[in-house]
Amino acid sequence: MTQWAVLISFFVVTLALGYLGLRVTKNDQDFYIAGGNLGWAVGGASIAATQMSSGLFIGTIGIMYAVGWSFAWVVFVFPVAYWLMVAVIAPRFTRQRKVSLPDFLETRYYSRVARVIAALIILIAFVVYISAQVIAGGLIANALFGVSVNSGMIGFTAVVLAYTAIGGMVAVVYTDFLQMMIMVVGAAVAIPMVLGQTGGLNSMLALVDSANPVTFTWEGMAPSLLLTLSLAFFLGAVARPEQLVRFYAMKDMPTIRKGIAFVIILVGLAHTLVFVLALGTRVLFPALSTGDQAMPVLAVHALPAFLGTLLLVAVASAMMSTVSSVLLVAGTALSHDIYGVLRPSMSPERRVLIGRIGTVIVGLVPMIMVLTGFGAGELVQFIVALFSALMGAVFLVPVVAGVLWRRATREGAIVAMLGGLVGTVAWRLWGDTDAIDPVVPGFAASLILMIAVSLFTAPPPASAVEPYFADPDEDESASLARAGSGA
């Protein structure tokens, strides 16, 4: 009964925020980027919540459970990546306010083909990613209520799809804010209970150390493996479309910088709380067959009903905040960057309607694929990792070159995206993925192709480059303020 009350309350508040989004969404800029008027708290919490998927509470906690604290050092990737994004990419990326990454690529690389290719890659990769999150939603529902995994997948998808399609970016970012707070509070309130059952922090550390002596050493995850994994996470974190679009949604550069400060604090806090919970689970439940069971087992068997449910709602929040964001970006790719190119002259109302239809389509397809057997047997974290690899290999070079290198050309960008895609997939199929993550050869291929092809093709026209590079002494913070157009 407690579980149902907590979950239904959560869903009601979430759907109410979807309704709020519906009320304030008047045109496509409202639907895709919340009118470009977000403050730092909501914008930052939204970026953090989108970053932390159910992989944090299922996959990451599982790895921590298995290999120990050395894995925690992977987290340093995120503050470094976000600092790089806000210091290097954001100032020029936001000089023209767009509504999507493909939109930016079209303007910077004076190519509609580049935009459509980017949109197609986003569509395909995001459908795979959403399918992983849908599976996680089903597992969470199964652990909490004992309902079938399929029913859980349908229920979670229906709720996320409802508020995302109805309320657009406004609903997504405000639900992200709520869900981010639930993630932190849910994990935080569970810790005193876990420490109480393990005899306190010092006792828990000693018990973990005696049960698994490599937990607090570098042997659990060798530094070489840690560096490889960190590189893969870093390359995949810098140019993710669902994160970059939030820069367009925020007011100006000072707001973005403050938002990223909030992100760095929230990411560190949430990961650390989850890591401590993983150690507690190691003590309380030392013989789990797989680390992926750590969080559900902890919530159901070690915590009182209300706190256990709150922790599982936190897991659900992690999943929902990520799914809603990628749903909206994938819907944008389908509606704005593909259909919008085919039918450029539409009324603002029709653009919003098409955005909603696109979001529903990209939400239903992965669920149907999962229900019909796609992805069965694949680990959630594996799919998440391949998604990050694709994002890093395909978009990092065109985005960074687009804001740093005047000479980067249309042809270079197109070939870099395709080369990154082919390199990543080929390495996944035929390479030694235990030694080198697929993102590395994909990124290398993308970088080499961008440089080589750009140098051998005609320089970009000034009309494409000047909006991003002109007048280096001018105020960066005026970038977003200047351009309300171009969406």
Partner 1 sequence: MSIFDAGFAVWGYFVIYIALTIAYLIWMVSRNRKDTQRGATSPDRENR
Interaction pattern, residues 217-246, with partner 1; x per rule: CB under 8 A: xx----------------------------
Burial 222-256, CB ≥16 within 10 A → b, else e: eeeebebbbbbbbbbbbbbbbbbbbbbbbbbbebb
Q: In the bound complex, what is the minimum distance in angstroms from residue 206's beta carbon to partner 1?
A: 4
Extract the runs of DSSP E, i.e. beta strands, from 48-169: none
Closer residue to partner 1, CB minimum distance, 252 or 378:
252
Q: Which residue, among 209, 211, 202, has the nearest Cα to 286 in the 3D structure? A: 211
> Should residue 252 be labelled a site residue for partner 1 when binding is judged by CB under 8 A?
yes
Q: Which tokens is 194 given?
A: 């876990």
Token representation of residue 38: 């977000």
Q: Is 463 left (phi over 0), alpha (psi -120 to 50) or beta?
A: alpha
Question: Residue 14: which of 246, 182, 145, 171 has the closest Cα?
Answer: 171
From the list 143, 264, 307, 487, which residue makes contact with partner 1 (rule: CB under 8 A)? 264
DSSP string of 417-469, one letter each residue? HHHHHHHHHHHHHHS-TTTS-THHHHHHHHHHHHHHHHHTSPPPPHHHHHHHH
Tell me the number of residues near partner 1 by CB under 8 A: 39
Which residue among 260, 318, 440, 464 contacts partner 1 (CB under 8 A)? 260
Nearer to partner 1, 261 or 425 (CB): 261
**Shortest distance in whole angstroms from residue 285 CB to partner 1:** 20
Question: Toward partner 1, which CB reaches closer, 15 or 205?
Answer: 205
| The only residue of 20, 79, 357, 426 in contact with partner 1, by rule CB under 8 A | 79
Rounded CA gap, 278 and 481, in Å?
44
AA identity, residue 15? L
Comparison of 258 and 282: residue with beta carbon closer to partner 1? 258
What are the φ and ψ backbone dihedral angles of 68, each rounded to 5 degrees?
100, -170
Q: Using an 8 Å Cβ cutoff, are 194 and 343 in contact?
A: no
User: SS3 for 250?
Assistant: strand
Min. distance of Cβ 189 from partner 1 in angstroms? 21
Question: Shortest distance, CB of residue 83 to partner 1, whole angstroms?
Answer: 6
Asked if residue 258 binds partner 1 (CB under 8 A), the reply is: yes
Least separation in angstroms between residue 185's CB and partner 1 is 20
Q: Does 467 bind partner 1 (CB under 8 A)?
A: no
Q: What is the rounded CA–CA span in Å between residue 220 and residue 215? A: 6
Eight-class DSSP state of 103: H
Task: Report the residue from 3, 15, 27, 73 that binds partner 1 according to the rule CB under 8 A.
Answer: 73
* Among the residue ranges 76-84, 102-110, 188-196, 321-329, the one whose residues contact partner 1 (CB under 8 A): 76-84
Of the two residues 70 and 446, which places its CB atom closer to partner 1 in the complex? 70
| Cα 167 to Cα 17: distance, rounded to the nearest angstrom | 8
Q: Is 113 in the site for partner 1 (CB under 8 A)?
A: no
**Nearest partner of 72 among 262, 274, 209, 237, judged by Cα:** 274
Q: Which two tokens stand for residue 29?
A: 């800029």
Q: Which stretch binds partner 1 (CB under 8 A): 144-152, 202-210, 330-338, 367-375?
A: 202-210
C-alpha triplet 339, 344, 346: angle, nearest 5°: 95
Interaction with partner 1 in 203-222: which residues (CB under 8 A)? 203, 205-206, 209, 216-218
Q: If binding is defined by CB under 8 A, does position 484 make contact with partner 1?
A: yes
Residue type, 112: R
Q: Report the nearest approach of partner 1 to the CB of residue 182 (Å).
A: 22
478 in contact with partner 1 (CB under 8 A):
yes
Residue range at the interface with partner 1 (CB under 8 A); choices 162-170, 227-235, 257-265, 387-395: 257-265
Residue numbers at the binding site for partner 1 (CB under 8 A): 69-70, 72-73, 75-76, 79-80, 83, 87, 201-203, 205-206, 209, 216-218, 251-254, 257-258, 260-261, 264-265, 268, 272, 474-478, 481-482, 484
